[in-house]
Chain A
Amino acid sequence: MVGEDFEALYRAHVGQVYGLCLRLTGQVALAEDCTQECFIAAWRALPGFEGRSQFSTWLHRIAVNAVLSQRRRRHNDPLREASELDGEALGLPGGAEAADTIDVERALRRLPPGARDVLVLVGVYGHSHEECAAMLGIAIGTSKAQLHRARRLLATQLDIGLETA
């Protein structure tokens, strides 16, 4: 694959990868770093991509790896607290709908990391529990339990129901 082809792949997928990284890390700068690491790692691993999974799933797995590595490196960093998310950081236009979206994003960020990771991967990006468990290195049962916990916490935070009324 030549550089131009890879750049086209990058342009097509950067939104999702960055969105995933931002929701998992909670920090713009870290999300940017993880996104760059993800695409650099993807470039190196591309010859080994066998097409058994969707390209986006494969890329998300690399992105999650980058985020987990970043977390390990920053484990003792006192500045690891999440920065404030606003519409600008999320690239959202103004308006009531954007305000609701920001509310949900902020509630996501207040979740415990384990629950948030699963909710982002399964609830937002539509991965199966099998894929989510493989990406995070946890058991499938743990993924299901974390999702249940995360949905309940989110419903409480946003004062909404678990199921559609």
Chain B
Amino acid sequence: MTKYSMYSKMIIHALLRRRSRMIVALLAIAVGATVLSGLITIYYDVPRQMGREFRSYGANLVFIPAGSSQALAEQDIDRAAGLLPRDKVIGIAPYLYERVKVNEQPIMAAGTKFQEVKKVSPYWQIRGKWPAEKSSGVVIGQEVAEFLKVEPGQSITLAAGDGTEQKVTVEGIVRTGGNEENFVFVDLPLLQKMLKKEGQISVGQVSIMATEAELAALSKNVETQVTGVSPRLVKRVTQSEGMVLGKLQALVYLVTIIILLLTLICAATTMMAVVTERRKEIGLKKALGAENRSIILEFLGEGLALGGLGGIIGTVLGFFFAQAVSINVFGRAIDFQPFIALVAFVVSITVSGVACMIPVKIATDVEPAIVLRGE
């Protein structure tokens, strides 16, 4: 017992007596640990966050009617949606397509839920505003607007094939550069009622955070469990996402490794410098009859204590750094990862231990007289 209390006393005193030097070493280790824990947290979190950003490309899974049928039942879509992981789904937008007459001109109408469209297709540029839910407001495509010469706020008349007419207000004009510009978008229940197709839709667009493999598994699951729905991957979106996201991950990975390597070497050199300075002390101890082993143990104890303290400080700072990055870049907070904290802690202890062992080993191998003479 007394042996250990002497040991810890020596270490604590060595640390306290040489305050300024120890602060320098502690700082070096803490910087290393900050970079370490911050970067690993970012590396761990980037794929998830980036995956969410990639959802701005819109739907990556579509539900179409199975077999030769032309329509999907709304409850089938709801059942299929129930099979998808809730926290990963960004939005599910149903569409019912039918040719109608707008101001006596034949134009494609799409019935949909605007709330979901906003989530699934964030790239829609709306001039005017989105219609309120369950209103008779519509959004029309840019091409249709030019063709009919209508502006937001004006009203138009929709007519179904059997002559049912409905007066609606144009709330917004959408620009996408794609096919959407040729459509009139109407609230889904309104169009269903006009066309007497209650409960029917043509397509369901799903935007969900998942890799291509996960999507394939999900769609297989939906296909077998919900008859009448045939899920299909939007290859252009899923495949490209996999490719680009993979590259981004590899980028962050490599950058992380390089920064870590260099920072840890940096921390280690400082640590070594601090220990090298004490060669005389080692020589003196040896001259007084200390064994190499006890000298090494003492320095190792100091190194580990410094490494542990620096590791804790660095882990905490690193988490805050990662948090700041995540909030600034992605606008979302991240969770504390105990595993990463543990890794950062262990690595900083190891690095500081190794870094102080190297100079001690060199000093203990030299004859005390030479060291004490200062060569």
Partners in one complex: no
On A, residues with C-beta under 8 Å from B are: none
